[in-house]
Chains A and B, each alone.
Chain A
Amino acid sequence: MRHRSPTRELALDATTIVVIFLLLVPILWVFVASVRPETDITGGGLIPTRFTFEHYAAILAKKPFLIALKNSLIVGLAVAVVTTALAMPAAYALSRFSFGGRNFFALLILGTQMLPSLAVLVPLVVIIRQIGLTNTLTALIFTHLALGMPIAVWMLKGYIDAIPKELEEAALIDGCGRLGAMWRIVVPLIRPAIIAVGTFAFVLSWGEYLMALALISKSDVKTLPLALQGLFDPYSFSWGQVMAGGTIIALPAILLFLIFRRQLVGGLLAGGVKG
């Protein structure tokens, strides 16, 4: 951009800080409330008087919440691993081979990303009920694959496109098979991107609400978003605990996203979006 006077830049920086702060206040408030004593929260004052971890201790002592934490970890990790395992070969095939139907398949995979979960909720719920998989983590893992897989394929394809083909050709001459060349040459070179897409799939699954709500009703298979809802008992609940639970769900998503921001923003812009 063009040059501007330093005072003007300073004024714009100050404005930026204020605007961003206002925009993020609702999220900051969740964090702040999670470390304030309950009397502080119900007192309604803005300034925290004391800093406490009692809400975290309280919900981590609750069995349903711990079970949900475990379930969310299982589902998220499985989704991350399966998404990457499906996306890597698909991206490689799209990048390196020309074959009949290639564009159709590419469009099909990308199109999945544009389809909101709600559009396929009813048929999926009926199908999953008919094959007897309601209230199983398997059903959740399967439906969650749709969340990140298209972006994963798209991102990885971009990274593979950037690797010179000559590197694999050399490996092929040395007697590597095609899959061996992918595994030994391409995979190590794009490892950061592979980790990024796996992380992304994990984060999307970790916070997913609609499919979990529709498919899960038994407490031993509930995931974190449903457990957070469960903390909200209409007769007696603690705002501090609900906000602590919210922080536990939000924090991994936020941290992992910030770490892998560079890889993910490009992929998101290229491949459509899902919140």
Chain B
Amino acid sequence: MKRYLETGNFAITEGALLAGCRFFCGYPITPATELAEAMSKRLPQIGGVYLQAEDECAAMHLCIGASLGGMKAMTATSGPGYILYADPFGWAIGCEMPLVVLNSGRVGPVSGITGAPGQGEFYLTRYPTQGGNFESVVLAPNSAQECMLMVCEAFYLSERLRMPITVLADQLITDGMEDISVPENEAEMKEMGIRTYPRKHHAGPDFYPHTDALDIPPVQMGIGAGGLCSDWTPTPEGYDIEEVSDHHKHAYRLIYKVRNNRSLFNHHYEKKFMDDDPDLVVVSYGTPSRVVNTAVGKARSQGLKVGALRLINLWPFPDELFKRATTYLSVELNWDGELVREVQRAASKDSKVHFLGSCGDLPTIPDLLETFEKILKNQPLARKDWVLEVW
């Protein structure tokens, strides 16, 4: 195990290389640029390829091409670039091409503030392309170390589910410097819980069987299997077809290969002080969860019955975590409230759901403690200008 004081971008790079990524194509954008720079340095050293594309749309299409040729590929961007991935994202979903996409959230909409963290792309990661009829998988780390692990996990899931997977980080995680341990061999990888899965080849002739099964290798070009793939609705052999009944089967696979195999990733959440059915459950993901965890710890020491639930697997949304009727507070790095809507939807009908938003900077521990106290005492939350006290 080698230890570094480095950025999240460094950790993501090392994680991707451990997972077998040998192709990275990106387009510079703050705060994901340093990841591209790290890849440009590291990939050639181990026999991989870094390319800089003419735009984000091309970057992801180049990754698709490399994946179509059998390489494990990755790209990274921030919100304004992630929206330009919509077109290739749809292709990779429809053609079932494994790929890992890192999105480092900043303040939006669009350019906003480039060097400040935001969480305004929660729903965008669920619906990264047009058209619907698919399920998404999104992982959200909250530290540089976890970035490394989550990127490995994303490659693992991407291969087994044959689909593009998003790792949703934010500017504080990718730019911030932290203590990072990088495993140096397989035994150390195993010790850290890193799972890897090799690219497998498809012999055809049925490339799109109507099944929710895992571990069906993706279509690959150049191996003489007669592989066909396109963004049109495919028959099992990959021919394009205009029959709704065929699309129904296609959509079934795209949706249920994820939903029916949730045991693959439903352990990805973090619970703190949740053993005694707390009166208030604070829900968060990404960087804010670090402040939330500290604040909840302090609240406990003050006798408040508060628990913390950190989501790591954002999509498919872990509805099962919200079965218990209680009071929930969603703490997010946005002012419009996104995660809170899913908490409201998933929470049992007798629950109460509150929202505390900030953007560009983290909520403070005193602010959080004051909010916890007021919610538990049923007092109205302090309204700060235009920030909603309750969603």
Chains A and B form a bound pair: no
B-binding residues in A (CB < 8 A): none
